[in-house]
Amino acid sequence: MPERRTIERARRDKREGKSPSTQAGEFVREEIDHIRAGKHGARSTKQAIAIGLSKARRAGVNLPAPKKGTTSAKTRKSAKSALAAGRAHKKTSAKRSRATENALKREGRSAAAPSALSRQAKSASRKRSAASRSASARKAAKTKGPRARVAAAKKAARTRARSR
């Protein structure tokens, strides 16, 4: 069960008109925090993200299942059932919940390490085209406030200076 604060943050994102993936990001962040706090582990960073997305769907975030060809049929089916469970407001079975938690407790904690998250982000980014990444960056810049834009520009300048 997600924490109340996480659900509230996701609802605030929805009110602000942010995308379902941004709303789901709150649940992914919570999952990473749980691993770092030692509540449970995960086999990989990808699994930690998947758990967060599933929790988001079950909590009512309207995040569609991935398109055919992008992931396995099993993943798509799992995402669809999580989305349906969120819409039906069904309570999760205590027995199933406990079994999942106990299985995750046996997993390692390195999936939430900053280096692991960085590796995951870079590998996910490599799968996207340069045009797609550029369009995302432009869209992000549009939604930033003036102060955040200045901070981003300074950071970009630092990065460029470092890479020369």
Q: Which of 17, 64, 21 is nearest to 29 (CA)?
A: 21
**77 plus 93 within the same structural domain:** yes
pTM over 0.85: no
Token pair for 9: 């943050």
**78 plus 145 within the same structural domain:** no
**26 plus 45 within the same structural domain:** yes
Which parts of the chain fold into alpha helices (H)? 4-15, 20-37, 45-58, 73-88, 94-105, 114-126, 130-143, 146-163
What distance in Å separates the CA atoms of residue 61 and residue 79, rounded to the nearest whole number? Answer: 12
Residue 89 has pLDDT above 80, yes or no: no
**16 plus 64 within the same structural domain:** yes
How high is the pLDDT of residue 93? Answer: 85
What distance in Å separates the CA atoms of residue 91 and residue 29, rounded to the nearest whole number? Answer: 23
What domain range is 141 assigned to? Answer: 129-164
Query: Per-residue confidence at 142, pLDDT binned at 50, 70, 90?
Result: confident
How high is the pLDDT of residue 54? Answer: 93
Mean pLDDT of the chain: 92
**80 plus 138 within the same structural domain:** no
